[in-house]
Structure formats: structure tokens, C-alpha cells
């Protein structure tokens, strides 16, 4: 056992579903001299990262960058498009959907929150029926989470857009991609999203501190009548100066250095390859969980997340005690259960800067932790994951030959 006062040898395994491990080359990029944010060198940097983000969002629309956590981007999405008392339709897919709802209420919006069990994603048919019933078009926006970080459940945004279109309702579609952007396929334009919300600290492999909005023309038009107070979050202020690469207030220059490097890494690997890598890691992790005889929180295989897996603890056993044992014995952090799931699940993050060996080490730490913590399980989860990773790698090589 590692004494609590010691400095453990080796690198800490940060396997929560974000913030994720920051690659050394991004850390080195951030560790650069700060430049004049009104000078010509900064303008080049600003235009580069703004243009690069459009490729990640898969959009031709405007993207803005805020020095904030994802919570700021949530607020920006709402205050730029809505007015006090507007009705917003949200779905209870998990902890973060619930937090977005609470933020909307604090802003003076009305929220209709469709109840969920935290084990399933958004039901497009339910949204279509509700919008079809809203003959007066009182609902001004539908807000949903693409990949619910608390549960490991992914919602089908393309199907949601199709349902909204089928209803003939004019509501805006706003989507949180904080734990999916850069790890899972996402298509702002193709899926008809009006505002996409994202953050820096997960698939983009950066520390916390930057957030983003991708903005459709429809959403931008909504700013003309939106009456919620806004100043810091005002899109117009940003978009007026962004084309030249600059910002209306002092930007997080060194974080933008890191963002530039992160984009270079994603494009060098190829976004499709990044997504395929995360898909493999998600499947390998789930095979390990099943081999241990444990239960995956997400109940619909079509909604499995490629960024994280939430694992249900056996009855009578504490997820937090297990996580504590893993940290103490093996210097690895796993995600905790949040609010309704507190002490009932643990979350394995498999997103960001990871390879096969990182994942195998992570799963080995989980399997050893189950043994140390006295959690009932079967052995062989790591082997099941390794078998799958090896076989899928060999199959990929054969296809490329």
C-alpha cells in the first residue's frame, strides 16, 4: 500500500472522464512566452484556432471561444438566443443535463424537464410528440446532452433533429458536446444543430479553461430579439472582431497555444481515426466489465459512449470505497458517481490522449482494485479487453495490406 504522505513512483493515471491527461507536447506549447494579444502574431494564432475548431465541429458556421468552463458556454447559448420567461424543453439524461436546467431557471427561463432514468438517452419520438402538441410554438429551444458524462449514455442527435423537423416546430436545437467533441463523431451542420456547447478539458486534451459555442445562422438571427441580459457572453462582441483573429477582451493566450497544438494533433491522426480509436477503447472496456460480471449503467447498446463507461457496483458495496482503494494502492483516479448515482457507480474515462497500453493499464488497475476492495467479481476482464484490442489491431492491419 502506498503511504499517504509519500510521492508515488510513476505517472498518476487520471482516468476520470475529464479533465483528461494533457499530452506533453500541449503542455510545452502552453509553456510559451505570452505575446501581445493586439499584435500581428496573435492575429495569426487566433484565425488558426478559430478555423481549426470549425473542422472539429464539422461546421461552416461561426465558432466563438470563451475563457471559461463549459458552464459559461451553456450560459452563452441561452442568453444570446432567448428572453426572460421563454419556455425551454430539456431532457433528464443525467447530472449535467440537470445542471444545465438549473442554470436556465436561474436566468429566468421556464424549463419543461422531461423525466429520465439516467440509463437511457433522449427519446426523439417523445420530443416530436411534445413539439407537435405545442401548436402555439411556446417552446423556444430544445436542449440536450450528446454524451452524458455522469452516465456514459450517448443520445442520437441526428435522430433528434429529424424528429424536430417532422414536428414542423421552429424551436432552436442546442446540444452539449463537452465530453464528446474531439472523441466522438459530431456534425454541427449536417445534424442541424443551432448552438453546440463544448469545453477544452476532455477530447481536446487541454486543461480546463476554454469553452466554445458553434452558432448556426438561425441562432445568430435569434440574437436580434433575445432579451436576456448579456455582456461578457455576447456573441456580437466576439464575432465583430474574430474574423481578424482577435478578441474583444484579454484572451487566454497560452491556452490558445495549447489549443493550436491540440488541433494539430487531432488533424495529424485524422478525426475519423480518432473516433475509431475511441470506439475501440469503449468496446474493450465494456468487454472487460462484462467479463468481471459487473453491470454497465447504460442499458441500450446503441447509446454506449466511446468516451467513458459507468459501472454499477454490486449491492452492498461502496463505489467510493472502491475508488479510494484504487487511488491509494495503484495511484489511479476513477470518476465518482454524481448526485443520484453517488456511491453507486464508478466511471472509467477512456478518452483523450490514450493508446492501447494506457487502456490496458487502466483496466488492470480496476481489476486489481476490485480484488483489493473485496468487490465480488470474476477474473479475466483485462484479458478480454486485450484479446479484443489485439484482434481488432490485426484485423485493421490485414485490411490495410
Cell of 184: 466522438
| Dist. CA 43–CA 351, nearest whole Å | 31
Say if residue 347 carries a ligand binding annotation: yes
Number of separate helices (H) and strands (E) present in the chain: 13, 14
* Closest listed residue to residue 366, CA positions, set 375, 355, 357, 353: 375
DSSP string, 13-29: EEESSSSPPPPHHHHHH
CB 163 within 8 A of CB 125: yes
Residue 206's alpha-carbon distances to 30, 63, 152, 200, 218, in angstroms, are 9, 18, 21, 5, 30
**Which sign does the torsion angle of CA 108, 112, 115, 120 carry?**
negative
Q: What angle do CA 111, 115, 117 make, to 5 degrees?
A: 145
Grouping H, G, I as helix, E, B as strand and the rest as coil, residue 144 is strand
Indicate the annotated binding residues for substrate: 347
Indicate the annotated binding residues: 347
Amino acid at each position: 500500500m502506498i503511504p499517504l504522505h509519500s510521492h508515488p513512483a510513476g505517472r498518476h493515471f487520471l482516468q476520470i472522464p475529464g479533465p483528461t491527461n494533457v499530452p506533453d507536447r500541449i503542455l510545452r506549447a502552453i509553456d510559451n512566452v505570452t505575446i501581445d494579444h493586439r499584435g500581428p502574431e496573435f492575429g495569426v494564432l487566433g484565425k488558426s484556432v478559430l478555423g481549426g475548431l470549425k473542422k472539429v465541429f464539422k461546421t461552416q458556421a461561426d465558432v466563438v471561444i470563451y475563457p471559461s468552463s463549459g458552464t459559461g458556454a451553456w450560459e452563452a447559448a441561452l442568453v444570446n438566443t432567448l428572453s426572460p420567461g421563454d419556455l425551454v424543453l430539456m431532457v433528464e439524461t443525467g447530472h449535467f443535463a440537470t445542471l444545465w436546467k438549473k442554470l436556465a431557471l436561474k436566468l429566468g427561463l421556464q424549463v419543461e424537464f422531461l423525466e429520465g432514468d439516467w440509463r437511457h438517452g433522449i427519446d426523439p419520438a417523445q420530443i416530436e410528440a411534445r413539439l407537435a402538441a405545442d401548436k402555439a410554438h411556446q417552446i423556444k429551444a430544445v436542449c440536450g446532452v450528446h454524451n452524458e458524462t455522469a452516465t456514459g449514455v450517448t443520445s442520437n442527435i441526428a435522430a433528434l433533429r429529424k424528429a424536430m423537423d417532422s414536428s414542423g416546430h421552429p424551436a432552436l436545437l442546442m446540444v452539449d458536446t463537452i465530453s464528446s467533441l474531439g472523441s466522438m463523431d459530431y456534425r454541427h451542420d449536417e445534424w442541424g444543430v443551432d448552438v453546440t456547447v463544448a469545453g477544452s478539458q476532455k477530447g481536446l486534451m487541454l486543461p480546463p479553461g476554454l469553452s466554445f459555442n458553434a452558432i448556426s445562422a438561425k441562432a445568430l438571427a435569434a440574437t436580434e430579439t433575445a432579451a436576456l441580459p448579456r455582456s461578457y457572453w455576447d456573441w456580437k462582441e466576439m464575432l465583430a472582431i474574430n474574423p481578424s483573429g482577435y478578441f474583444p477582451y484579454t484572451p487566454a493566450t497560452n491556452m490558445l497555444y495549447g489549443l493550436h497544438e491540440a488541433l494539430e494533433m487531432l488533424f495529424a491522426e485524422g478525426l475519423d481515426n480518432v473516433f475509431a480509436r475511441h470506439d475501440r477503447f469503449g468496446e474493450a472496456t465494456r468487454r472487460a466489465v462484462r467479463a468481471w460480471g459487473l453491470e454497465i449503467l447504460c442499458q441500450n447498446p446503441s447509446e454506449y459512449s466511446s468516451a467513458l463507461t459507468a459501472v454499477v457496483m454490486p449491492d452492498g458495496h461502496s463505489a467510493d470505497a472502491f475508488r479510494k482503494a484504487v487511488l491509494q494502492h495503484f495511484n489511479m483516479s476513477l470518476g465518482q458517481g454524481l448526485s443520484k448515482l453517488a456511491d453507486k457507480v464508478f466511471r472509467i474515462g477512456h478518452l483523450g490522449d490514450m493508446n492501447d497500453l494506457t487502456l490496458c493499464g487502466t483496466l488492470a488497475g480496476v481489476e486489481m482494485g476490485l480484488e483489493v476492495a473485496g468487490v465480488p467479481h470474476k477474473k479475466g476482464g483485462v484479458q478480454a479487453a486485450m484479446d479484443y484490442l489485439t484482434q481488432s489491431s490485426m484485423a485493421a492491419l490485414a485490411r490495410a495490406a
